[in-house]
Structure 1
Amino acid sequence: MTEKLVVVTGASTGLGAAVARRLAGPGYHVLAGVRRDRDADAIRSAGVEPVILDITEPGHVAALAARVGGDPRALHAVVNNAGIQVNGPVEALPMEQWRWVFEVNLFGHVAVTQALLPALLRSRGRVVNISSIGGRFALPTYGAYAGAKFALEAVSDSLRREVAPLGVQVVVVEPGGVRTEMAGRGVATANRLAAQMTPEQEERYGGLVRAINTMMAEGTASGLTADAAARTVAKAVTTRRPRTRYTIGRDAAVLVRLARVLSDRALDRVSAATVKRYHPKPATV
């Protein structure tokens, strides 16, 4: 058999679904992780085999590893794409939300990677971790989300240095604004959590939260389509000698460059000036 397996987590909608469809075809059979039967029905097609997968459920991860281990085809790549977006000020975001963001956006990826590394070591395959520009630059209210993404970047660097001598490649992909359902859900979640702030917290952060939500919605609306973003992920999967990191979108490329050359204080001023444009305007009589 010349066909190889690729696992894509978080493939119900958005970027994950677009990546699964783009990779399916000559050379690759995609195991697309979805959480519900109706999502499985929607994505099932030639070359795309849905598997029920919640990356925070150990039984699901073990079943995925068994599915891969029982297949005669080599595992070429694991695309760790599943994720959630939860935003809120550090002071006001409930601790259960902090823990859940890290459970999904970091620990779930580690669990999947651990389970599938034996197969990747046998095939000399690769791990592709979908991070975010939030893994390089943390806006206000992005503490939990960016914290998990910064951690994913660090885990990716450590893993790359561990397994490169063993023939396994590790690639990080850092999208900017992409038009997906996750961003819309993130705004709705941020609004719901903001409504639970105390009056004092609302006074301190209410305007900031509304500004960030407006900025996030605008950036998503003007971002790349999931299909366009999937081209870069597919390149990271299929290129014989991939780079260690890829950005997706002009906004991500610009922010990465700024983060490299500007001081922390200068980046603070850039962030404040950007967010200020989205603050609610005072009512006029």
Structure 2
Amino acid sequence: MIYQLLYSTVALCFGVSVFFRYVNDGMNFEFRSALSLLVLFLGEPFCHYVVGEVGGLLLYGLACVVMYLLLPAGEVTIKDRVVLITGCDSGFGHALAQHLDSLGCVVFAGCLHGDGEGATSLASSCSAQLKILQLDVTDAQQVDQARQVVQEYLGPHRGLWGLVNNAGLVYFGELDLLPFSMVQRSIDVNLVGMLRMTKTFLPLLRKGKGRVINMSSIAGSVPLMFMCAEGAAKAGVEAASHILRQELKKWGVQVSIVQPFAFKTGWQSSESMLTNYNQIRQALDKDTLDTYGLDYLDAFKHNLLNEESLNEDLGQVIGVMTDALTSRGPRAWYPCGRGTRSLVWLSNLLPTSILDMILPLLMLQIDVTPTGLRER
């Protein structure tokens, strides 16, 4: 009798909690919603009569808690909310600006080249609500000017709903070959730029109880060859994001990391890769050039320009960035791309010796031995 009462109490609490979640959050009925009903109506008799009294009660209670946590969070209305996106010249930022504009959002699109092709394309393809900002995230003066423009638009009583720190760049190459100016530039744009933007716009985000979405990459969590500069910067982005999420919680500001893998944006185009290689080649000193050899560099260049496995459909990434802005319960981490979640999980699980054998197989394959090793 006592166990029947306890089972009924757990079922009642779970049912009422799910009901109010639907009422308050406006959730859509989908797979997880259907699963919650199965747990509610079939889980109780199964645990009671099949598993047993004590064990079954514990299992049923645990299933209810887990199922409640997995329920979709519902969405907030994005129409007329103000979102600032950096790096809108091309790629994810450009596509997100267009998408949010189509949803009725007021978009401030920060472009490195405010009068460039990307900015012109946005201005012509989007509504008058979208506003182009000349914005280099490494330039403190431009960042402050952007803040003034956004603050003037918002007025004294409104806050900023979203800051999407998307501006970034990628330099491929071994650290031994990269000129340090490229390493510094990667950190300045990918990490310091994100921190500068977040710090500058925090007063407006606090007022709006808004969202910060920081663009990372798989290199921020998984040690991939040829991505030392980006990996160092993006690991910093992820560490800072986790800390900011805790620090800003008291203000109602939520922080999410978007972590894409193997998507083709402007930085992965053949033109950008060729520029990447030429900058490396021109900066090499004679000793390093002699140590690696021209045939090694030619093999690196060939692989750099013939990467065909990248996904040109940015829809998945735009979808999760939108979810981070519209969900009532945005996730802390949004992995995007085939195998991203598994790669991160394996990199934390596998011994270093095994990881060091597997990960190089995922990156550029250079089948040429450096000259310095052949001469030994």
| 2:319 matched residue in structure 1 | 231
2:159 touches 2:206 (CA, 8 Å); kept in 1?
A: no
> What is the root-mean-square deviation of aligned Cα atoms in Å?
2.3
Q: 1:31 offset after TM fit, Å?
A: 0.4
Cα separation, 2, equivalents of 1:26 and 1:96: 40
Query: Quick check: 1:69 aligned with 2:151?
Result: yes
| Paired letter, 1:117 | L
For structure 1, which segment, 77-86 or 24-33, has the greater mean C-alpha deviation from structure 2 after superposition?
24-33
2:109 touches 2:131 (CA, 8 Å); kept in 1?
A: yes
| 2:191 matched residue in structure 1 | 106
3-state SS of 1:237 partner = helix
Cα–Cα, structure 1 residues 206 and 102, in superposed 2: closer, same or farther, change >3 Å?
Answer: same
Cα–Cα, structure 1 residues 66 and 214, in superposed 2: closer, same or farther, change >3 Å?
Answer: same
Structure with the higher fraction of residues in strand conformation? 1
Q: 1:241 offset after TM fit, Å?
A: 0.6
Query: Quick check: 1:130 aligned with 2:215?
Result: yes
| 2:137 matched residue in structure 1 | 55
Structure with the higher fraction of residues in helix conformation? 2
Q: 1:261 offset after TM fit, Å?
A: 1.9
Query: Quick check: 1:195 aligned with 2:291?
Result: no
Aligned pair partner of 2:231 in 114, 122, 146: 146
Query: Quick check: 1:21 aligned with 2:111?
Result: no
Cα separation, 2, equivalents of 1:170 and 1:134: 19
| Paired letter, 2:290 | E
Cα separation, 1, equivalents of 2:302 and 2:232: 20
| Paired letter, 2:194 | H
Aligned pair partner of 1:32 in 106, 109, 114: 109
Query: Quick check: 1:209 aligned with 2:291?
Result: no
Cα separation, 2, equivalents of 1:199 and 1:146: 24
Q: 1:232 offset after TM fit, Å?
A: 1.5
Q: 1:27 offset after TM fit, Å?
A: 4.9
Q: 1:55 offset after TM fit, Å?
A: 0.8
Query: Quick check: 1:171 aligned with 2:250?
Result: no
Q: 1:15 offset after TM fit, Å?
A: 0.8
Unpaired runs of 5+ in structure 2?
Answer: 1-78, 370-376
**1:102-127 C-alpha deviation (Å, 9 max, x unpaired):** 11111111111111000001111010
| 2:309 matched residue in structure 1 | 219
1:156 touches 1:170 (CA, 8 Å); kept in 2?
A: yes
Q: 1:157 offset after TM fit, Å?
A: 1.1
Relative contact order (alpha carbons < 8 A, sep ≥ 6): 1 or 2 greater?
Answer: 1
Unpaired runs of 5+ in structure 1?
Answer: none
Question: Sequence identity of aligned pairs in percent?
Answer: 29
Cα separation, 2, equivalents of 1:212 and 1:171: 33
Cα–Cα, structure 1 residues 268 and 80, in superposed 2: closer, same or farther, change >3 Å?
Answer: same
Normalised TM-score (structure 1): 0.89
| 1:272 matched residue in structure 2 | 360
Cα separation, 1, equivalents of 2:254 and 2:272: 31
For structure 1, which segment, 139-148 or 246-255, has the greater mean C-alpha deviation from structure 2 after superposition?
246-255
Cα separation, 1, equivalents of 2:272 and 2:355: 24
Cα separation, 2, equivalents of 1:256 and 1:208: 29
The count of corresponding residues between Structure 1 and Structure 2 is 277
Cα separation, 2, equivalents of 1:177 and 1:273: 14
Q: 1:189 offset after TM fit, Å?
A: 3.6
Cα–Cα, structure 1 residues 200 and 74, in superposed 2: closer, same or farther, change >3 Å?
Answer: same
Cα separation, 2, equivalents of 1:155 and 1:182: 24
| Paired letter, 1:130 | M
Cα separation, 1, equivalents of 2:225 and 2:305: 13
Q: Which runs of 4+ in 1 moved over 6 A?
A: none
